[in-house]
């Protein structure tokens, strides 16, 4: 593997500035289009912005992983050099793992912005929180690509970003199912896939990928998917609190699993995690009116 390149502070500022513009102004433009109820344009622009995000992440990856000894002879050769490292499974696997979190953050925000027509305060909260999360992701990913490792501080902060991402996508998934009257089966499948991807990325960053651990995160994903069945049946108004409940379940199972991997799981740790879980659930249930009913599709 090639040695990490040295980059100036100016490069870091540019990298942060570019993703800040893409995230904040991109989501703001989507909110503006959504509030005009131009849904076809909304979908087209959202796909275009995500393409820019992919290109920028690839650019950051390319800066740190491309072969510096190769000098491009022409445009076609330059493009070939840029994608050459993806022919190596190690590099491709590394890159695609870092696509997961930004993708979940972005599309979760897009869905919530799209289905909350003219809910300006809510849209601005989602835009601000998601933009900050994306900036953190891209900034830390650049450092990870440079250092070829995830330090403890990066891992902890990214774990909190994943909690926000899980709430965002859980709430967005339930909201769009209600809004467009999709089958709840889609909701259960999405919850399983998203949970598995978040946990898989965490294991990858933690350098703890093994068949045994993958099997364990499959079980956790199945449990989250099972809980989504009861969420769909019980919740009928506030999909934001439903997403928070599922995030509490995700956080509890992940922390138990994390301590088990580190061999630090004991009754005290289990008790602490269970207490946090119960407190969050009590708060969520306390602000949720289960008697409220809206007309929605029944399956």
C-alpha distance across the termini of the chain, in Å:
53
Residue 3 has a pLDDT of 46
Q: What is the pLDDT of residue 253?
A: 93
What's the pTM value of the predicted model, to 2 decimals?
A: 0.85
* Rounded distance between C-alpha atoms, residue 110 and residue 33, angstroms: 11
C-alpha distances out from residue 31 to 21, 121, 130, 218, Å:
15, 11, 13, 35
Q: What is the pLDDT along the chain (299 residues), one digit of tens a residue?
A: 444 444 556 666 777 788 888 889 999 999 999 999 898 999 999 999 999 888 877 777 666 555 555 555 555 555 555 566 666 656 666 667 778 899 999 999 999 999 998 889 999 999 999 999 999 988 877 776 666 666 778 778 888 999 999 999 999 999 999 888 888 999 999 999 999 999 988 887 776 678 888 899 999 999 999 999 999 988 877 889 899 999 999 999 999 998 888 888 889 989 989 999 999 888 888 777 666 655 566 55
pLDDT at residue number 179: 85
Res 296: pLDDT:
60
- Cα distance between residue 102 and residue 53, in whole Å: 8
Rounded to whole angstroms, the Cα distance separating 115 from 173 reads 11
The strand ranges marked E within the chain are: none
- CA dist 49 → 23, 52, 100, 112, 142 (Å): 8, 5, 16, 16, 20
């Amino acid at each position: 593997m090639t040695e990490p390149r040295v980059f100036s502070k100016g490069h870091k500022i540019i990298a942060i500035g570019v993703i800040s513009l893409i995230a904040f102004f991109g989501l703001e433009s989507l909110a503006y289009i959504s509030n005009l109820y131009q849904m076809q344009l909304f979908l087209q622009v959202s796909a275009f912005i995500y393409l820019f995000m992919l290109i920028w992440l690839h650019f950051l990856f390319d800066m740190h992983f491309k072969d510096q000894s190769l000098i491009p002879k022409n445009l076609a050769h330059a493009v070939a050099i840029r994608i050459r490292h993806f022919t190596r499974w190690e590099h491709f696997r590394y890159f695609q793992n870092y696509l997961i979190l930004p993708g979940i953050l972005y599309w979760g925000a897009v869905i919530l912005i799209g289905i909350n027509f003219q809910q300006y305060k809510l849209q601005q909260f989602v835009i601000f929180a998601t933009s900050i999360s994306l900036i953190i992701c891209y900034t830390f990913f650049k450092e990870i690509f440079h250092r070829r490792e995830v330090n403890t501080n990066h891992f902890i902060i990214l774990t909190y970003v994943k909690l926000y991402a899980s709430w965002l996508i859980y709430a967005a998934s339930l909201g769009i199912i209600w809004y467009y009257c999709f089958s709840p089966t889609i909701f259960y499948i999405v919850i399983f896939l998203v949970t598995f991807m978040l946990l898989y990325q965490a294991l990858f960053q933690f350098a703890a990928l093994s068949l045994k651990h993958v099997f364990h995160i499959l079980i956790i994903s199945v449990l989250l998917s099972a809980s989504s069945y009861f969420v769909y049946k019980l919740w009928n108004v506030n999909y934001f609190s439903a997403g928070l409940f599922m995030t509490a379940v995700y956080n509890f199972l992940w922390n138990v699993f994390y301590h088990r991997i580190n061999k630090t799981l004991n009754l005290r740790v289990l008790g602490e995690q269970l207490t946090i879980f119960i407190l969050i659930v009590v708060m969520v249930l306390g602000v949720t009116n289960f008697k409220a009913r809206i007309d929605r599709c029944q399956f």
